[in-house]
Amino acid sequence: MTIEWQTISAQYCANRDSTIPPSMKLKSDPPKDMLNVTNVPKTCGLLSPKELELTENYDATGLADLIKEHKTTSKELVVAFCKRAAIAQQLLNCVNELLLEEALEQATKLDEYYATTGQLVGPLHGVPISVKEHISLKGHTATASFLAKANEIAEADSDIVQTIRKAGGVFYCRTSQPQSLMHLETSSPLMGTTLNPFNRKLTPGGSSGGEGALLGLRASVLGIGSDIGGSIRSPAANNGLYGFRPSTLRLSRKGCQGAVKGQESILGVVGPLAQSARDLNLFMKACMAGEPWLEDASIVPLPWRTPNLPTKLKIGIMRTDRVVTPQPPVQRAMEIVIDKLKDSPEYELIDIEPFKHKYSWDLISELYWLDGGKACYDLFAQVGEPLEPLTEWILKQPNVKNHDVAGVWKLVADRDEYRNQYIKHLQAYGVDFVLCPAGPGPAPRLGETRYWTYFSVWNLLDLPSAVFPVTKVDPALDVKDESYEPMNDDDAFYYQNYKPEDYKDAPVGLQLVGTRWEDENLLAALEKVVRIL
């Protein structure tokens, strides 16, 4: 017998499928044992040679330049990227909604405006932009992947959407996220499981996993995600992308949907996933030019500043967090970057130790659920929505419980004390940035992402952090150390589950973290670092 949540899911997925025109459907599905599907858009026959060139060879900055130089139009780009997004959905289950008609309408207006006036409306004029589903678009659902919210329609664009529209960006696709928004994977009873384009047995990450999968298949050049514990950086690392977690209160979260409003113990942020480091800068500059503090009084009124980097960058090298040892592909990626940096006179590398990372997880996981998860449980109960295994895992972390006001005050005081101690710890090393793993390994097998701390510690500290791609798993090089003795249960889980052949083709990324709240300097340093790789 069909029950309520199954009916809601079936209706939602049917509506999603109806947004993909028959002309954008694959003639046949690739074999299920084809794990790496990144070449399917090139071979399926749905994209013209020009559309393949536009989607394969350019980042957002490059596409904006093509429009400016009259070498393409926004309308042409929208058609190309909608086709590719439709392919991505059929291969990876990453799209909540294709916005073909309204994207074409907006693109046509932008093309006509440029042809008539010779002026661009902003730095993203005509560039197709994808966006995570819980970031509201007027007239569309904003479920945050709760079935109880499946029929809720946003009455207005979120602030970040308004900002990007003013900069000329064209929204053409909305992407998947996990149940409760609190997985580093992307699965929900609403839509099912989103897959990794490089290996469909692996996760694209989460919670902005639909964005990660979409960009990984090059069905987007620039997407908007959100991050409260790694939700931008995890998909970026898992799909060979660039992702940026800005400091809080630089970009507005107004209009982003979830289970709880007003929770400020750990603030989420919105930010970009991109095909290049320079596109992260492009996105942030475009947002800051829109003066988001005029619409959201909680935003710090701080324009995007000219970076002020020291002549010689001091980079702290944190090889491990001393809780879960990185798997061999991540260790090799660290050595690749370290070898490049140490050969340059522009960098001073300093080995640094982590500071109480196990405690950081105990603290942040408690701060996430000050009501013990009641708001989520209540939403699940409304329609009988079953819990995904990773939802149950995060809600049942040992410190999760319902807090009274005094308990909340104590936790926030503990948070602030940890922040102060960690900043002093970093200051003692005198480093400008920290280079560290982006997770304990490459993209995990589906259902196995159970360690967040390589990402979440920087959320707890509210330090800007960015992920960049380095290499891919090579089973011949990334051999398991059979003599290693795990330090604890979490370490044993990742050690025992590492089989290099299972991760073939999986991208491996690293993370660069700012030691101060200077987003501009971090992105400038990132561009400098990736130029020598």
Active site residues: 132, 207, 231
Phi and psi at residue 249, in whole multiples of 5°? 70, 20
Residue 284 to residue 376: CA distance in whole angstroms: 32
According to the annotation, is 228 in a ligand binding site? yes
**Residue 398 DSSP one-character state:** T
CB 181 within 8 A of CB 218: no
Cβ neighbour number for residue 209 with a 10 Å cutoff: 35
CB 127 within 8 A of CB 221: yes
According to the annotation, is 206 in a ligand binding site? no
Look up residue 298 and give its two tokens.
């909680």
Reduced to 3 states, what is the DSSP secondary structure of residue 497?
A: coil
Cβ neighbour number for residue 477 with a 10 Å cutoff: 11
Look up residue 510 and give its two tokens.
């690293």
Residue 86 to residue 219: CA distance in whole angstroms: 8
Helix or strand run (H / E) with residue 111 = helix 100-117
DSSP string, 217-242: TTS-SEEEEEESSSTTHHHHHHTT-E
Reduced to 3 states, what is the DSSP secondary structure of residue 516?
A: coil
The side-by-side arrangement of strands in the sheet containing 433-437 is: 95-98, 170-175, 128-132, 222-227, 269-274, 242-245, 465-472, 507-514, 433-437, 313-317, 347-351
Residue 219 to residue 459: CA distance in whole angstroms: 28
Contacts of 134 (CB under 8 A, 6+ apart): 142, 143, 144, 145, 177, 181, 226, 256, 257, 258
In the chain, % helix, strand, coil (3-state, to 5) comes to 40, 15, 45
Residue 212 to residue 524: CA distance in whole angstroms: 23
Reduced to 3 states, what is the DSSP secondary structure of residue 171?
A: strand
Residue 212 to residue 455: CA distance in whole angstroms: 16
According to the annotation, is 229 in a ligand binding site? yes
For residue 290, with 0-12 CB atoms within 10 Å meaning exposed, 13-18 middle and 19 or more buried, which class applies?
A: buried
**Residue 200 DSSP one-character state:** T
Contacts of 447 (CB under 8 A, 6+ apart): 185, 187, 203, 389, 390
Residue 104 to residue 74: CA distance in whole angstroms: 8
Print burial letters for 343-363: b (CB count within 10 Å at least 16), e (below 16).
eeeebbbeebebbbbbebbeb
Cβ neighbour number for residue 30 with a 10 Å cutoff: 17
Residues in binding site: 181, 207, 228-231
Residues in binding site for substrate: 181, 207, 228-231
